[in-house]
Amino acid sequence: MTNRLIKRNIDTNSRIFFDFMVYIICERFRSLKDINILFSNDHCMVLNKRAGLPVQGGEGVKTSLDSILSESFNPRPLLVHRLDKETSGLILIARTKEAAASFTSLFSGDKGLRKTYLALCRGIPEKAEGEINYDLETKGRKGKPAPKKAGTFYRLIVKLDLTDIPCSLLELKPGSGRMHQLRRHLALIGHPILGDDKYGDFPLNKKLRKELGLKNLMLHAARLVIQSMPCLPDGLDITAPLPPHFESILPSEQTEQ
């Protein structure tokens, strides 16, 4: 009788352990779906982040890019710059502490690096290309707001009409790296990014959500160019494909470019 009970307990514990391991493996593969690696070497990798995935954890955040990387790679890759949760596109990750130091220095400077974004905005700029120069407040010493110079270059790619509202697809190149710089600059010149729930046109966002199903921030980190450096002897020039929420809105001939 005792042997039967022991065998039953062993079978039960084995089943629990097996079910637990299956759960862990399924969760790992589910997480890896968020890791779309476009480039990788011994020093870094470039990922195409989906919209809606936070880069870092925090209060109320169950899954972040940082946590997925920590669970999926050993040693743990290191973040060197940020993308907003709702921004899709390219993000560079360091694979060593030495590379992290080099890339952090690169992203905090203004030489050797070029980032290009695509944004779908309300309205059409008067000039087909130009520079937006508005100082933006950032947290200064002791948390007090402090204005900082900020510049954003833009170029009109295509005009389009969404539910009888003139809109435009813009190419954006930040000349500085202030928090939410692109979103704030475009809002300041009267062309907020569609789907922006912080600086955007809220009634228009609601209308587009209802009529077109537009639920995402229409901002995409499309291209990353880095000059030759020890971590990248041949430099880097990489482009991320348009995400589904862009393809569903833009004319087909534009998505094929």
- Is the pLDDT higher at 138 or at 131? 131
Q: What is the mean pLDDT of residues 30-59?
A: 85
**Residue 192, domain member (yes or no):** yes
Among candidates 156, 170, 249, 250, which has minimal Cα distance to 211? 249
**Residue 25, domain member (yes or no):** no
What's the number of CA atoms in the CB half-sphere (13 Å) around residue 37? 13
Among candidates 97, 30, 89, which has minimal Cα distance to 55? 89
**Residue 87, domain member (yes or no):** yes
Per-residue pLDDT tens over the stretch 54-69: 998 877 788 889 999 9
Under a CB-based contact definition with an 8 Å cutoff, are residues 35 and 47 in contact? yes
Q: How many CB atoms lie within 10 A of CB 67?
A: 15
pLDDT the model gives residue 60? 76
Domain range for 111? 34-255
106-109 long-range contacts, CB within 8 A, separation 24+: 106/226, 106/229, 107/80, 107/81, 107/177, 108/177
Residue 30 has pLDDT above 60, yes or no: no
Q: What is the mean pLDDT of residues 230-244?
A: 95
**Residue 5, domain member (yes or no):** no
Reported as a pLDDT band with limits 50, 70 and 90, residue 95 is: very high
Reported as a pLDDT band with limits 50, 70 and 90, residue 240 is: very high
**Residue 9, domain member (yes or no):** no
Strands 88-94 and 78-79: antiparallel
Among candidates 127, 242, 239, 120, which has minimal Cα distance to 182? 120
Residue 186 has pLDDT above 50, yes or no: yes
Reported as a pLDDT band with limits 50, 70 and 90, residue 148 is: confident
CATH number for the domain spanning 194: value is: 3.30.2350.10
**Residue 202, domain member (yes or no):** yes
Residue 18 has pLDDT above 90, yes or no: no
Q: What is the mean pLDDT of residues 218-223?
A: 98
Residue 207 has pLDDT above 70, yes or no: yes
Averaged pLDDT score across all residues of the chain = 86
Roughly how many angstroms between the first and final C-alpha of the chain, as a whole number?
74
User: What contacts 141, CB < 8 A, 6 or more positions away?
Assistant: none
pLDDT the model gives residue 147? 83
What's the number of CA atoms in the CB half-sphere (13 Å) around residue 191? 24
Phi-psi region of 183 (alpha: psi -120 to 50; beta: other; left: phi over 0): alpha
Q: What are phi and psi of 91, to 5 degrees?
A: -140, 135
**Residue 29, domain member (yes or no):** no
* Residues labelled catalytic: 84
Matching residue, tokens 């921030």: 217
Reported as a pLDDT band with limits 50, 70 and 90, residue 24 is: very low
**Residue 2, domain member (yes or no):** no
Residue 124 has pLDDT above 80, yes or no: yes
Domain count, the chain: 1
User: What contacts 200, CB < 8 A, 6 or more positions away?
Assistant: 122, 183, 187, 192, 193, 194
Both tokens of 25, joined, read 């493996």
- For residue 75, whether the previous peptide bond is cis, meaning omega lies within 30 degrees of 0, is yes
